[in-house]
Structure 1
């Protein structure tokens, strides 16, 4: 399963690098404006982990805002694309977010993860590691597929189960199979609350620019949410968390 995700994103890396940032309205005029709005205006001297950086769009924005950024991705092709984009302005690592992360305890002020965590089956290890490497009061900002959208792709129609979905994306006349995990809204919320305190839950709406580009898709998104954004903070260190450990 993991090898399938890596293979899919190795194939998609070129599209992300050269097309997504300028042509994909779902990214440019839907998810990204809502995520950026939740960031501090000034991130100078802030240590940020871009967890699942893809081709590095967020990495670049974070650097421009003054952050000290480490970016990671499981796809070596995405890592290469980010390195081409960012040069020596940020460190870029090839990492699997389901494994122990090579960072000391309390290393980061902010972890940002855009449309990545739904590719992970069990969030326990990932969230445990995120909690460990965040500083006291640190923030986690992540976006995922909206559970209501994903359920329409379900084959087993068991809403409360976590289900592997194989989606198909058309790119340059070819179909690429993209696997991810669907889960219920309650599972998303409760798993996050095991490790963090939730500050904001955002169901983003497309911008007016999106409407001018594609009125039909705009109306669809206004009545059928596709993404869900969560902003959370590290819990008090006095509270013992599942899987918590230090190095």
Structure 2
């Protein structure tokens, strides 16, 4: 990276600028769109307790977790996102704080579980974010993480790197994230795909996991912290 480019500051600025756009569509995404299967999938693997929503945006996903009986703390790098979340949603057992995924404002082993949907990609060194999530989870704690798949148009956020431009998005293949996680003290418990219209279950049932991942808009993982 160039000496004048600060990934953290640029990421915060860009997400502040996008907060109104994101907030306008987040509810539809969580209730009907690409994120509608996440909370049901998470509930299969993470029991009730304290959960951190990392990269919570305007907090609607956090609110859905709260409705399911979790005690939720949402975290986002964008101050504007957190202000929107706090102004729209105020419940005991649901709170929001501004924070950096590589330096979370929490004690070690504070949470029973965590959710990070399309947030690890926005870190300059994703490994550092994964390590910080591990730090805040109790032994055996589980993480539901969503990663943009190969067919996701939002991956355009990292495209300009091909021209040598500075970007704030690290696109990864699902197999890359799983390999990094398993190399650094996580156990993969389960995975599930989110697909664009046109991909039917009949297209998928004969495919192995790597081929299924190749068709995804987003791949969901459940990782468990070893120890």
> For this structure pair, what is the TM-score category when the shorter chain's length is used for normalisation?
0.7 to 0.9
Given the alignment, which residue of 9, 14, 27 partners 1:8? 14
Instruction: State the alpha-carbon separation in 2 of the partners of residues 233 and 44 from structure 1.
Output: 13
Deviation at residue 69 of structure 1 after TM alignment: 1.1
Deviation at residue 63 of structure 1 after TM alignment: 1.1
Of Structure 1 and Structure 2, the greater strand share is in 1
Consecutive unaligned residues in structure 1, runs of 5 or more: 158-162, 167-178, 207-217, 238-247
| Per-residue Cα deviation, 1:56-98 (whole angstroms, up to 9, x for no partner) | 0111111111111111100000001111222143221110112
Instruction: State the alpha-carbon separation in 2 of the partners of residues 144 and 8 from structure 1.
Output: 20
Instruction: State the alpha-carbon separation in 1 of the partners of residues 65 and 117 from structure 2.
Output: 13
| Per-residue Cα deviation, 1:203-228 (whole angstroms, up to 9, x for no partner) | 2135xxxxxxxxxxx23798942212
Aligned to 1:189: 178
Q: TM-score, normalised by structure 1?
A: 0.71
Deviant stretches of 4+, over 4 Å: 41-45, 147-151, 153-157, 163-166, 220-224
Aligned to 1:244: none
State the SS of the aligned residue for 2:194.
coil
Equivalent residues, number? 204
| Per-residue Cα deviation, 1:150-190 (whole angstroms, up to 9, x for no partner) | 49x75677xxxxx9885xxxxxxxxxxxx311234442121
Aligned to 1:69: 72
Deviation at residue 29 of structure 1 after TM alignment: 3.5
Question: Would the aligned equivalents of 2:122 and 2:170 in 1 still touch at CA under 8 Å?
Answer: yes
Aligned Cα root-mean-square deviation (Å): 3.1
Question: Would the aligned equivalents of 1:30 and 1:204 in 2 still touch at CA under 8 Å?
Answer: no
Question: Would the aligned equivalents of 2:39 and 2:65 in 1 still touch at CA under 8 Å?
Answer: no
